[in-house]
């Protein structure tokens, strides 16, 4: 394809994109009256005919059912506002006085691609389109070089002109998501040009070092192979699987990476490898991926605290939201393909560490008084603009685990404590999307409820009442067979089911209750005990300080996180080569698990839901189509 023709395809892909301004979204009005209902969203001045919206009864936030749409809605504030006047996001947020955000080289490909993909996913979850979505699509397409077909960063004061391998992986995944969302021939050609160029470079040995076309790109390639029937993507995925598992092994023969490793990067490799193994029918590779998942699981806590890096040589250990996203993605992929025992992991991670990783109440970020933005920095209203973003390095008790600084870039970026890394800004919404998309499924006349969250399908409305009550309701909109996963903490015999006042005897089959066939209009009510329990856990790097916690649970929800003697003011950082402030006890920025509002047992209000039309599921039904080539 000639560069001139490719440039015309880029232009065609841009034609349908509205250039929305990157300004803050319009303020939202809530209506309140003594005749209102706190179960309503409160967006209408009078009740609608269906009585699903109208006045709130009070401005106090009522207890509501656990719906992942809420987290996606909150993220829209961050996605729309945490950009400059041209729509470019900021990678760095520094905990300075005043707090500041700074542009950096990841902004053009890594961060913008993740956040563009997240904006599409948030729209799918909520029905609300972020104005910035169209801006990011336009900017990403404009950065693709017509000669090479690859996203190329511009030469600026904070970036070099380069086609970075990580940028290609994330941009490819985002563009395939956009194509699956709304197929368009010009966009398809852009994607196919990119994968052809990547394959050609790999064949020429032009890999740019050990990091280029590493396992991180496999999931992106498999998405293109599936959605666009892209044979170049499949060929390159085969090469990369062989490279990662055979030629230059990333994982040790005992299916660990105790030798060390970046958990997000390794998990993204495993998510892609699982997809590839299912596509080509390679049970040996799939079993290795499962074993590696179980290794990662052994390094995490039950509520989802997962080290950003395995094997750090110091006292600092933190969770990265990007890693949580891929942990959920891998667990869901495995659960959907023969390992339903991992659904409980997904439920606990999403309800707890992922939910707590979304930024709220950022008063610890000090405001600037009238300081004007520059081409690289912004100080304006950062606490408000960052609401709905996600933690880069959390501890079990605080949004930020330790004071560590940036070790690249110019002097203007160094020596400042990093509060956020905004690669996580898109990844948090991506993680919620994976769980939302797979919370329940309908296939061949059967409804399967995997997670006890709220979920709206065309065939059923599902409502979960944890942690207020041990109850799940399933209102059927068509005749079907129903099966519901039994929560890990529930003895199967304690599960009770009724429909229309009559008992429905469940048939226990593994960790599911098979409830039989029921007609449209039936509401099944599943109840179970929700007794409180405690769990003592510890986190830390081998050979260094460990931090202990008492976790107070009700069902799958952490109600309180109690540090046990962790009030250290400093700890040794192997990145900084010195003692730094750490936050693993009661004191620190952004306290987590402040969940007093969840302690009641009253009837929760119903959260507004958005129907899932089953598109954009990159983690289910991944088995091979007929006549696929053999695995290497």
pLDDT tens column, 68-82 = 999 999 999 999 999
Phi, psi of 11 (to 5 degrees): -60, -40
φ/ψ region of 608 (left if φ > 0, alpha if ψ in -120 to 50, else beta) reads beta
CA distance 480 to 374: 59
Provide, rounded to the nearest whole percent, the portion of the chain with pLDDT above 90: 83
CA distance 475 to 462: 6
42-51, 246-255, 400-409: least confident range: 42-51
Q: Are 482 and 439 in contact (CB under 8 A)?
A: no
Q: Name the band, by pLDDT with cuts 50, 70 and 90, for residue 623.
A: confident
pLDDT of residue 19: 38
pLDDT of residue 25: 35
Phi, psi of 631 (to 5 degrees): -70, 155
pLDDT of residue 23: 37
Highest mean pLDDT: which range of 245-254, 336-345, 619-628: 336-345
Q: Are 605 and 62 in contact (CB under 8 A)?
A: yes
Q: Name the band, by pLDDT with cuts 50, 70 and 90, for residue 369.
A: confident
The average pLDDT across 501-525 equals 97
pLDDT of residue 52: 43
| SS3 (DSSP) at 538 | strand
For 318-358, the three-class secondary structure string (H helix, E strand, C coil) is CECHHHHHHHHHHHHHHHHCCCHHHHHHHHHHHHHHHHHCE
Strand partners, 509: 512
pLDDT of residue 209: 38
pLDDT at position 16 over 50: no
pLDDT at position 571 over 70: yes
pLDDT of residue 105: 96
Per DSSP, 243 falls in state: I
pLDDT of residue 260: 85
Q: Name the band, by pLDDT with cuts 50, 70 and 90, for residue 54.
A: low
Residues in the chain: 632
Question: What's the farthest any 2 CA atoms get from each other in the chain?
Answer: 71
Phi, psi of 313 (to 5 degrees): -100, 65
Q: Quick one: which of 121, 167, 170 has its CA closest to 268?
A: 170
pLDDT tens column, 419-476 = 999 999 999 999 999 999 999 999 999 999 999 999 999 999 999 999 999 999 999 9
Cβ neighbours of residue 232 under 8 Å, at least 6 residues apart?
192, 195, 196, 198, 199
Residue 284 burial (10 A CB sphere; 0-12, 13-18, 19+): exposed
pLDDT of residue 306: 97
Q: Quick one: which of 57, 75, 37, 29 has its CA closest to 606?
A: 37
49-58, 427-436, 623-632: least confident range: 49-58
Using omega within 30 degrees of 0 as the cis cutoff, is the peptide bond preceding 433 cis?
no
Return the structure tokens found at 265.
């990067």
Mean of all residue pLDDT scores within the chain: 91
pLDDT of residue 1: 58
Kindly compute the dihedral angle of the four CA atoms of residues 333, 336, 340, 344, in this order, to the nearest 10 degrees: 60
The DSSP result for 153-170, as a single string, is: ----SS--S---HHHHHH
Q: Are 201 and 235 in contact (CB under 8 A)?
A: no
Strand partners, 496: 527
pLDDT at position 346 over 80: yes
Q: Which residue has the higher pLDDT, 17 or 390?
A: 390
Q: Name the band, by pLDDT with cuts 50, 70 and 90, for residue 245.
A: very high
Angle among Cα 106, 95, 424 to the nearest 5 degrees reads 40
The average pLDDT across 169-197 equals 98
Return the structure tokens found at 445.
């006349």
The average pLDDT across 557-579 equals 97
pLDDT at position 27 over 50: no
pLDDT of residue 376: 97
Instruction: Match 């390159």 to its residue by tokens.
Output: 236
Per DSSP, 412 falls in state: G
Q: Strands 557-563 and 546-554, how do they pair? A: antiparallel
* Structural domain boundaries in the chain: 143-249
pLDDT of residue 12: 60
Return the structure tokens found at 258.
């105790």
pLDDT of residue 517: 98
- Report residue 429 CA to chain centroid gap: 5
CA distance 321 to 326: 9
Strand partners, 56: 32
Residue 502 burial (10 A CB sphere; 0-12, 13-18, 19+): exposed
pLDDT of residue 597: 87
Q: Are 553 and 533 in contact (CB under 8 A)?
A: yes
| SS3 (DSSP) at 203 | helix
Q: Which residue has the higher pLDDT, 210 or 280?
A: 280
pLDDT tens column, 283-307 = 999 999 999 999 999 999 999 999 9
Phi, psi of 599 (to 5 degrees): -75, -20
pLDDT of residue 314: 97
pLDDT of residue 26: 39
Provide, rounded to the nearest whole percent, the portion of the chain with pLDDT above 70: 88
Give the full edge-to-edge strand order of the sheet including 418-421: 377-378, 100-102, 92-94, 418-421
For 85-101, the three-class secondary structure string (H helix, E strand, C coil) is CCCCECCEEECCCCCEE
Using omega within 30 degrees of 0 as the cis cutoff, is the peptide bond preceding 467 cis?
yes
Q: Which residue has the higher pLDDT, 476 or 614?
A: 476
């Amino acid at each position: 394809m000639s560069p001139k023709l490719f440039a015309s395809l880029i232009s065609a892909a841009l034609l349908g994109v509205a250039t929305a301004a990157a300004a803050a979204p319009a303020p939202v009005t809530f209506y309140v009256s003594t005749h209102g209902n706190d179960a309503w969203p409160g967006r209408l001045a009078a009740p609608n005919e269906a009585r699903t919206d109208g006045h709130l009864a009070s401005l106090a936030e009522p207890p509501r059912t656990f719906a992942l749409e809420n987290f996606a809605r909150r993220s829209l504030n961050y996605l729309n506002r945490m950009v400059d006047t041209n729509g470019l996001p900021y990678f760095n947020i520094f905990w300075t006085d005043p707090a500041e955000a700074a542009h950096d080289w990841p902004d053009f490909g890594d961060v913008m691609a993740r956040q563009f993909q997240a904006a599409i996913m948030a729209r799918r979850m909520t029905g609300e389109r972020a104005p910035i979505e169209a801006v990011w699509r336009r900017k990403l397409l404009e950065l693709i070089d017509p000669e090479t077909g690859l996203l190329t960063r511009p030469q600026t004061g904070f970036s070099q002109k380069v086609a970075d391998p990580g940028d290609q992986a994330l941009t490819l995944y985002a563009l395939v998501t956009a194509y699956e969302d709304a197929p368009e021939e010009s966009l398809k050609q852009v994607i196919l040009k990119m994968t052809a160029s990547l394959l050609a470079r790999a064949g020429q040995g032009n890999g740019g070092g050990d990091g280029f076309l590493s396992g991180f790109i496999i999931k992106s390639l498999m998405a293109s192979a599936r959605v666009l029937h892209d044979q170049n993507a499949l060929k390159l995925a085969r090469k990369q699987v062989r490279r990662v598992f055979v030629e230059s092994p990333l994982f040790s023969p005992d299916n660990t990476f105790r030798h060390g490793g970046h958990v997000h990067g390794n998990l993204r490799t495993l998510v892609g490898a699982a997809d590839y193994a299912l596509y080509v029918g390679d049970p040996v590779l799939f079993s290795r991926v499962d074993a590696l998942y179980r290794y990662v699981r052994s390094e995490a806590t039950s509520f989802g605290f997962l080290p950003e890096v395995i094997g750090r040589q110091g006292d600092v250990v933190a969770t990265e939201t990007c890693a949580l996203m891929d942990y959920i993605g891998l667990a869901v992929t495995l659960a959907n393909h023969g390992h339903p025992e991992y659904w409980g992991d997904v439920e606990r991670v999403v309800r707890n560490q992922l939910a707590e990783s979304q930024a709220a109440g950022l008063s610890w970020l000090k405001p600037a008084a009238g300081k004007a933005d520059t081409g690289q920095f912004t100080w304006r209203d950062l606490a408000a603009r960052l609401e709905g973003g996600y933690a880069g390095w959390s501890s079990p008790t605080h949004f930020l685990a330790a004071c560590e600084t940036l070790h690249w870039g110019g002097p203007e970026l160094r020596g400042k404590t990093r509060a956020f890394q905004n690669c996580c800004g898109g990844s948090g919404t991506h993680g919620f999307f994976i769980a939302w998309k797979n919370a329940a499924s309908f296939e061949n006349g059967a409804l399967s409820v995997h997670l006890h969250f709220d979920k709206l399908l065309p065939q059923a409305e599902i409502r979960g009442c944890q942690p207020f009550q041990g109850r799940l309701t399933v209102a059927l909109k068509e005749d079907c067979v129903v099966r519901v996963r039994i929560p890990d903490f529930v003895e199967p015999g304690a599960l009770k089911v009724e429909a229309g006042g009559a008992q429905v005897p469940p048939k226990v089959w593994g960790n599911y209750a098979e409830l039989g066939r029921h007609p449209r209009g039936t509401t099944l009510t599943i109840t179970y005990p929700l007794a409180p329990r405690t769990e003592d856990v510890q986190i830390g790097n081998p050979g260094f300080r460990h931090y202990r916690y008492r976790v107070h649970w009700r069902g799958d929800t952490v109600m309180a996180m109690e540090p046990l003697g962790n009030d250290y003011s400093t700890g040794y950082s192997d990145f900084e080569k010195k003692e730094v402030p750490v936050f693993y006890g009661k004191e620190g920025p952004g306290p987590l698990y402040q969940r007093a509002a969840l302690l009641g047992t009253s009837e929760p209000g119903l959260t507004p839901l958005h129907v899932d039309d089953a598109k954009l599921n990159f983690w289910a039904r991944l088995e091979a189509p007929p006549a696929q080539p053999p695995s290497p």
